[in-house]
Structure 1
Amino acid sequence: MPQQDSVVAVLSLFNPPAEVVERVRRLQRQVDNVVVVDDGSPSPDARTFEQLADVAQVIRLGENKGIGAALNAGIQHARAAWDPAWLLTLDQDSEIGPHFIERALETAQRATGAGIKVGAVTPETHNGTRIDMLPGKDEFGEGFDPMQSGTLISATALDHVGLLDEALFIDAVDSEYTARLRQHGYRLITGDGCDLSHTLGQARPMKFLGLRVKIAGRELNVYYHAPFRVYYMARNSIQLTRKYLLGQPAWIFKRVALETIFHLIRVTYGPNRMALLKAVVLGTRDGLRGRRGRIPQDVQDKLTAP
């Protein structure tokens, strides 16, 4: 039987920076236990993992299996060791704000008291900015497409809908779980006053014909992702559309529209445009073919070829 309001945090790591140790120490002040999962880092820093072993349970995967597999390994370990009521998933470049857990649990308790089937509690803001929200149903906010980092998942919901979809590997793993929870009647509510600090890719200058793009005198940036990440974004978006279009058409249509806009911005204004365009095309092709799992080596080679 899970301990009421007990929380274990699970972090997925890949070649983590040394500062992740202090981040975990600060995280410990808000949760009962922490599990960190090394997702097959090709060049791990031994000193960093030695220090992590002093402040958290460390799991090392023998190969890079993707964020879904890494988080699932941590969740399963946490549930076997401590049987918590809630699991907080985090990326290595994210950090919850002060009183995050306390506020999230208070919000969940009020929502449950109001008859809401709470599947997860997500941040209300990222880096101080309110996340994109669904139209309001009641006093409890609900993010349109919340990312997994900073999501507090109910153990009861995990028992009902299962673990994350490992075959997506990376990107849209959180979106698929959001859709699955909603498909089973759960809500993902935002925690009142819960903020997550998170790095949103690499900001690169937005340029067109070699000139900086400006709006109202303000120079704009493009948040750059490597071509292999864009491949997963395009491919997995097709997977989500096929799986949830009939059950959640409005959500899917908006998500596809936003993804299309982001892809257009990347290939029009961002760096490495031809490789990114190739990634979108190949990802869409493989999504239509139903391909899952790690990016095929021949596709990876095409995306890195000069």
Structure 2
Amino acid sequence: MEPVESESVQPREGVCGVVSAFNPGPENVANLKWLLRFVDHVVIVDDGSPGDVAQALADMEKLGAVILRLGTNSGIARALNVGVKEAVGRWNPEWVLTMDQDSRLTGDYVTAALATAHSSREPESVAMVCAESHNNIPLPTWGGQEEPQIFDPMTSGTLVRTETFQFVGYFDEGFFIDCVDSEFNARLREHGLRALAGRGCNLEHSLGNARPMTIFGWHARVGAKKLYVYYHAPFRVYYITRNSLILARRYAVKQPTWVLRRIYMEIQSHVVRFGFGPNRRKHFIAATAGVRDALRQKMGKIDESLAARLR
């Protein structure tokens, strides 16, 4: 992932970066170096990495990042919460930029995001500014053409006004991984706040393993565009299924249009996953367990016995 070097990018005062890391390596050290072109301060939270990551974390610290290590793998929500609180306690920034370790900003991203917030007709209602596109592919929006809101923003590449956390609370740690960003976004709307699409803000983000979508050996396409299946490990399918259902139940009455559209998108993903993806038997086990635990309202980390079955 090598975005084109941007001209005249200056770190913005009042903005701190917070990165959740898991088993970071040299490529993530390079991503941190890139991030420090955009912000003055960064907190890296290692989420209980089981591997030997001492060298990578030491290299990150040499670059100027504050390093925090969680004793156990506690999920991205907790890692981000710990990092945000550390950043606020140290520097009291106006904005926090949350990032995944495998993402990079392009262009003069932070400046463009702040300009979007400050030029809004109702700047006081702007709680977040998110990427407008991922890998130059526009993200789904709603709320009008003049100031579109991102339909389901990802935490990576999102600037959050720090006072928002005092107003609506922090990320829900019960979700652990998937839908953490979706739930936070829905909660913002419950408080009359918005997550705007940052004009010109493109995030380079790793989409994981991809394989061609084939039908009897034919590479499926829409027009000239070839289609691919993006692979999620079975344990992720468990979280995606469970958390999506819990999220839908939580907001179905309050935000029915958003919930129905999101369920439709998840059904599409499952059709592709079970119809064309690898490891379908384990994915089916994961999805079934996710439905079961959603009905039980069971949150938190996946049971180790189930995780072992899905490896």
**Which whole-Å CA distance do the structure 1 matches of 2:33 and 2:272 have between them?**
38
**TM-score of the two chains, using structure 2 as the length reference:** 0.92
Are the aligned partners of 1:205 and 1:270 in contact in 2 as well (CA < 8 Å)? no
1:61 is aligned, of 70, 87, 93, to 70
Aligned to 1:77: 86
**Which whole-Å CA distance do the structure 2 matches of 1:53 and 1:266 have between them?**
39
**Which whole-Å CA distance do the structure 2 matches of 1:147 and 1:9 have between them?**
15
Residue 133 (structure 1) aligned with residue 141 (structure 2): yes
**Which whole-Å CA distance do the structure 2 matches of 1:24 and 1:57 have between them?**
11
SS in 2 for 1:84: coil
SS in 2 for 1:19: helix
Q: Deviations over 1:194-231 (max 9, x none)?
A: 1100011210222345x244235764310000000000
Q: 1:135 to 1:117 in 2, by over 3 A?
A: closer
What is the RMSD of the two structures over their aligned residues, measured on CA atoms?
Answer: 1.6
Aligned to 1:124: 132
In the TM superposition, residue 129 of structure 1 has moved relative to its aligned partner by 1.3
Aligned to 1:197: 204
Are the aligned partners of 2:16 and 2:96 in contact in 1 as well (CA < 8 Å)? yes
Q: 1:181 to 1:217 in 2, by over 3 A?
A: closer
**Which whole-Å CA distance do the structure 2 matches of 1:45 and 1:213 have between them?**
39
**TM-score of the two chains, using structure 1 as the length reference:** 0.93
Q: 1:278 to 1:80 in 2, by over 3 A?
A: same
Residue 92 (structure 1) aligned with residue 101 (structure 2): yes
State percent identity of aligned pairs.
43
Residue 214 (structure 1) aligned with residue 220 (structure 2): yes
> Bigger shift: 214-223 or 12-21?
214-223
Are the aligned partners of 1:9 and 1:33 in contact in 2 as well (CA < 8 Å)? yes
Q: 1:212 to 1:286 in 2, by over 3 A?
A: farther
In the TM superposition, residue 114 of structure 1 has moved relative to its aligned partner by 3.7
Aligned to 1:236: 243
Q: Deviations over 1:206-261 (max 9, x none)?
A: 2345x244235764310000000000000001110111111110000010111011
User: Is there any run of 5+ residues in structure 2 with no aligned partner, and where?
Assistant: 1-11
Q: Deviations over 1:100-122 (max 9, x none)?
A: 111111111111x5455011000
SS in 2 for 1:22: helix
1:293 is aligned, of 284, 300, 304, to 300
Number of residues paired by the alignment?
298
Q: Deviations over 1:74-112 (max 9, x none)?
A: 00100111111101100011011121111111111111x
**Which whole-Å CA distance do the structure 1 matches of 2:132 and 2:71 have between them?**
35
Aligned to 1:266: 273
**Which whole-Å CA distance do the structure 2 matches of 1:221 and 1:177 have between them?**
29
In the TM superposition, residue 64 of structure 1 has moved relative to its aligned partner by 0.4
**Matched residue type, 2:66:** Q
Are the aligned partners of 1:263 and 1:280 in contact in 2 as well (CA < 8 Å)? no
2:253 is aligned, of 227, 230, 246, to 246
Are the aligned partners of 1:116 and 1:187 in contact in 2 as well (CA < 8 Å)? no
Aligned to 1:284: 291
**Which whole-Å CA distance do the structure 2 matches of 1:114 and 1:219 have between them?**
41
User: Is there any run of 5+ residues in structure 1 with no aligned partner, and where?
Assistant: none
Aligned to 2:31: 23
SS in 1 for 2:83: helix
In the TM superposition, residue 28 of structure 1 has moved relative to its aligned partner by 1.2
SS in 1 for 2:200: coil
Matches within 5 A, 1:151-230: 151-208=158-215, 211-215=217-221, 216=223, 219-230=226-237
